[in-house]
Structure 1
């Protein structure tokens, strides 16, 4: 009698800026975030603007993500964090050596153990780059990210734009228009171009959703996409990107979440 081998489960990664677990009215958003993210059945959640406190523990418990790593920024309890269903066998947080007007930044990297084949030989990272100046963002990512680190999944709030996300009309009226009205930095694209065109990372959302534009891709209140999941597949990778989508957080935080799902080639 022949027996079917058990199917290899998909692997799902999510990222969201949790805004120190406070919503726009000044109240806790952790229960709302848990209700939004819970049905997604995430394997890994990477967050920015987190506090290493009871709210972070509550969110991890609610999502059944029992393994955690926190990367504080210069000794504080505020920073980036990762929660996982799979054991974290190594983690390292690197803080920026410069302190621009936008403040210190950091990148948290980790590797997972356990028996899920997707995590084998992959390094994951989360970062939150400067919110004021593209030159500072470029300095930070060049300091954090080295090809020698071999990061395979890079998630986070990059505070940077991708030019092809926007129609001409939307770009001039919303993207550039809002920034001009709020006296923010005018649109620049060097950071995402460096990651994709120069360093060869794959923008997961754009790769699978090349026709979506304008408000369809927005992840922040300015109507732009600044939250990303970037990929560097393994050589002869047996896993492919199945889907990548934006999750409306209904203003629980000032960012939407981004989720990517990976599927083993045997399912194709």
Structure 2
């Protein structure tokens, strides 16, 4: 199983390791593309701060991110598992997984990134600010940029198992499974179910969508199940206590929640 995750806007600060070594990161087929984006981002942020903030879509309160990006080549790196924070990653709770579940996480989770393309949990990277929606002057829109490179790398990584795609829309644009792989790809939508005057209403949630997806991935990692397709995933999630409805033909599962927490 390959699980595709978005990054988090919030990232841990600090780190005690050395600077990022691009050649040491997983998915070595992306090394050249990573170097090009890193070089352009550092150059942009080391120049005109106003222009850099505009390109990166930063509010006045986030202008410090420009200087941080300018120092990416020498900034201390840390494992991606420690770098990414936020609702989904808090619910996933990587640090508290047992040994077997953590090993499965390292083998199956892939975090997409506007700067790095995609990384594994044990890849050591510095804190940065560069979303997939950014359009750099040279590389252009990053989703389209990475899509050209991902198409040559990820099908082999995916193998013959299930692909569980939990990315947000901007990150989903960086790679779209095709052909037989698309038929083995499942996406998840989280719906809150409420009842008003005897009428059931379903609402797409945002903040709690991330939390539910984090708990869902954690439950899968702690189980021994190995679903091969969206239907198998739906059966597995039901056994794990989730309320799931399949949307036939589109590979989407709706996870229904009544209590938001």
| TM-score under structure 2 length normalisation | 0.31
Larger strand fraction of residues? 1
Greater relative contact order structure (CA < 8 Å, 6+ sep): 2
| TM-score under structure 1 length normalisation | 0.30
Kindly name which structure, 1 or 2, has the bigger radius of gyration based on alpha carbons. 2
